Amino acid sequence: MSVATENEGLPSLDVVVPEATREQITGRTLRQIAWMRLRRDRVAKVSVAILLVIVFLAVFAPVLCGLLKVDPYTFHSEVISDNGGLPIGKWGGVSKAHPLGVEPGTGRDILARLLYGSRISLLIAGSAALITVVTGVVVGIVAGNSRGWVDKVLGRFMDLTLAFPVLLVIIAMSPVLEQRVVAAGVPDGNTSRVITLIIVLSVFGWPYLARLIRGQVLGLREREFVEAAISLGASNRRILFKELLPNLWGPILVYTTIAVPGLIGAEATLAYLGISVLPPTATWGSMLEESVGYFTVDPFYFCVPLTMLVAAVLSFNLLGDSLQDALDPKAGRK
Amino acid sequence: MFPYIIRRLGLMVVMLTLLSIVTFLLFNAVPTDPAMLTCGKSCTPELVAANRIRLGLDQPLYVQYIDWIKAIFVGRTYGSGTQTFPCNAPCLGYSFRNGEEVTVMIKAALPITIYLALGAFVLWMVFGILSGIYAAKHHTEWQDRVIMGVALVGYSLPVFFIGLVLLIFVVVRLHLLPYPDYVAPQTNPVQFLQTMILPWISLAILYAAYYTRLTRSQMLETLSEDYIRTARAKGLPESVVVRKHGFRAGLTPIVTSAGLDLAGLLGGAVITEYIFSLPGLGRLSIGAVTEYDLPTITATVLVAATFVIVANLIVDMLYAAIDPRVRLS
């Protein structure tokens, strides 16, 4: 029996639906709707633009500094006063040669330090976010999809990790952990320092995402398409990563956009407490920490890294909000 | 209800045991030699060897752990022969760096942290919730946008920024308040308030920003429910609709966050205590970290994490009280 005979005698559907209506009811996937909403969202567009500029500045820092003839490490004793070492001139020594002024005490160019510092700050925050998200997603999917003791053990493990006073443990663990990192063959100095920072910042973030993902998976695993995959004999791994994961991109994306600014702030906080890269290398956090001491006499120095950091954090947070609204199926119906 | 509480208490004991094991391993197995850390620069090989035996660090790890836990309940005596230090229960260890029992140091620091946390908690809950509700009521109007803008900026500033700026402007520049110098409230209430007001405000601003966002999104969620329309249709005054039907229903996540945040702060507000030189738990632990005072670090981490685990239990109990839809089973 051929397929065609089954439809014999039935009116063609095309006749029933008029041309115009058919175009209007073209189905959109949630992803298309989200993308459409994002493109209409002015705040999201501005945030993305700011973030692109910051990333561009960081990536091309050596080129830009070369063009502007500034350098993050050279001391310029001629632009700071002899007693006190404060920058000569208004606005922290802003001049043609040093567009954002110079560092008190050393005369190093602030713009160059800011641009080079962006690279390390973004590297730390980005890598830590990546590790956090991957760990959180994998643990969350596994916990959500496995019933019984695996889920319970992972759940308790998440609770336990979340119970620790994060900042304190990070500060206490960093020096010890760095010794271990060096012992594992990583070159001592800023390489081991940055790797240590990335590790300690990643350790405590993942349970938040894992919980979120677990909750989503609990709902998804009862859906028909998962049942269909199981009855077709799909492997556990296929169900986890081919059936469930594609449905989780929304929360993962939103969480990542909110995690990155948190990590940028955490790096700054750690730097303030003295845990940062080794001088003369700079990060946004280490620049803030150094400039705090000059706040009353040279506030401009403090404002430069602060502006950069707040611009990045604010843009990420705003983008996160926009993404959340765009991906919310209920949004726009209220 | 009752069997549920018993089960949760049992689970809490399991969690606390796991917590103590992890904390112990973190600070006793990860460093290469804890005995080396008891004396720092004044270390001689003899002193290290003597301290190792005095503190029982020559024992296998599991024996050390059991001794450590036992001491919390029954106390212990360090050393042997003529040189012994008694350490009464609850003994959390002996700090060689400070020549003092860790429990004594924690007991001295804890009230300060409690005052700090509770004061800030009251401020941020009141301001966060009120401005969140106000913003939600004026959704899509300018009031909402202003409040959310301020909250987002507050939320995006580095943690130490607010405290530092307050300290520099109010104390250093404008001399509106004397330099922070902590005294107990019963000794000198005026100086106590003068010292605590800025730390309270700076912590409160930080958290209020988050609670404003949280309350607003909860309120928007519940205010769009059908039963709110029903309540309005019944002719209930708007204030009752917002308070009893909207806020009450959206309260659960706020209570969860509040419980855990307060518990987290009771473990020490590290940055704020550091900026305002408050000798609370946060300062104690930061000091211990910089001096590599392992017994003190281990104890403060344990105490801080215990607060959070206990708070988890309390929050779960509160759910049932707040939200009749939740059944504890």
Complete domains list, chain B, with CATH = 2-101 (no CATH), 105-328 (1.10.3720.10)
Q: Is B113 on the interface with A (CB under 8 A)?
A: no
Q: pLDDT per residue over B74-129, tens digit each?
A: 777 776 666 677 777 788 887 777 778 888 899 999 999 999 999 999 999 999 99
Size of interface A-B (CB pairs under 8 A): 106
Query: Chain A within 8 Å of B291 (Cβ-Cβ)?
Result: no
A189 contacts chain B (CB < 8 A): no
- Poorest-confidence range of A197-201, A251-255, B280-284? A251-255
B18 contacts A160? CB cut-off 8 A = yes
Q: How far is A321 from chain B (nearest CA, A)?
A: 10
In a mutagenesis test of the A interface, which of B161, B214, B224, B274 is the best target, namely the one with the most A β-carbons within 10 Å? B161
Q: What is the mean pLDDT of residues B24-34?
A: 69
Q: Is A14's pLDDT higher than 70?
A: no
**Other C-beta atoms lying within 10 Å of the C-beta of residue B173:** 10
* Closest CB to B152 among A165, A306, A314: A314
Q: Is 0.85 exceeded by the ipTM?
A: no
Residue A2 banded pLDDT, cuts 50, 70, 90 = very low
SS (H, E, C) chain B: CHHHHHHHHHHHHHHHHHHHHHHHHHHHCCCCCHHHHHCHHHCCHHHHHHHHHHCCCCCCHHHHHHHHHHHHHHCEEEEECCEEEEECCCCCCEECCCCEEHHHHHHHHHHHHHHHHHHHHHHHHHHHHHHHHHHHHCCCCHHHHHHHHHHHHHHHCCHHHHHHHHHHHHHHHCCCCCCCCCCCCCCCHHHHHHHHHHHHHHHHHHHHHHHHHHHHHHHHHHHCCHHHHHHHHCCCCHHHHHHHHHHCCCHHHHHHHHHHHHHHHHCCCHHHHHHCCCCCHHHHHHHHHHCCCHHHHHHHHHHHHHHHHHHHHHHHHHHHHHCCCCCCC
Q: Look at residues B163, B166, B184, B189 and name the one whose alpha carbon lies nearest to residue B176.
A: B166
Region of residue B143 (left: phi > 0; alpha: psi -120 to 50; beta: else):
alpha
pLDDT tops 50 at residue A59: yes
**Size of chain A, expressed as the number of residues it contains:** 334
A171 neighbourhood in chain B, CB within 8 Å = 270, 286, 289
Which residues of chain B have a CB within 8 Å of the CB of A168?
267-268, 270, 282, 285-286, 289, 297, 300-301, 304
Higher pLDDT, A108 or B271: B271
Q: Do B156 and A292 touch (CB under 8 A)?
A: no
Task: State whether residue A153 sits within 8 Å of chain B by CB.
Answer: no
The whole-number average pLDDT for the span B324-328 is 64
B265 touches chain A (CB under 8 A): no
Q: Which pLDDT band holds residue A136 (cuts at 50, 70, 90)?
A: very high
| Residue type, position B310, single letter | V
d(CA B181, CA B167): 13
Partner-chain contact A176 B31, CB within 8 Å: yes
Please judge whether A169 and B31 are an interchain contact, meaning their C-beta atoms are less than 8 angstroms apart.
no
Interfacial A residues in 23-82 facing B (CB < 8 Å): none
Q: What domains does chain A contain, in order, with CATH numbers? A: 43-326 (1.10.3720.10)
Q: What is the pLDDT of residues A265-309, one digit of tens each?
A: 888 888 888 888 887 888 888 888 888 878 777 788 888 888 889
pTM, two decimals, is 0.81
**Which residue in the set B22, B152, B282 is minimally distant from A160, CB to CB?**
B22
Specify the pLDDT at position B74: 78
Q: Is B297 in contact with A172 (Cβ distance < 8 A)? A: yes
pLDDT digits (tens, 9 = 90+) for A217-242: 888 888 888 889 889 988 888 888 88
A-chain residues within 8 Å CB-CB of B224?
A: 334
The predicted pLDDT at position B328 comes to 58
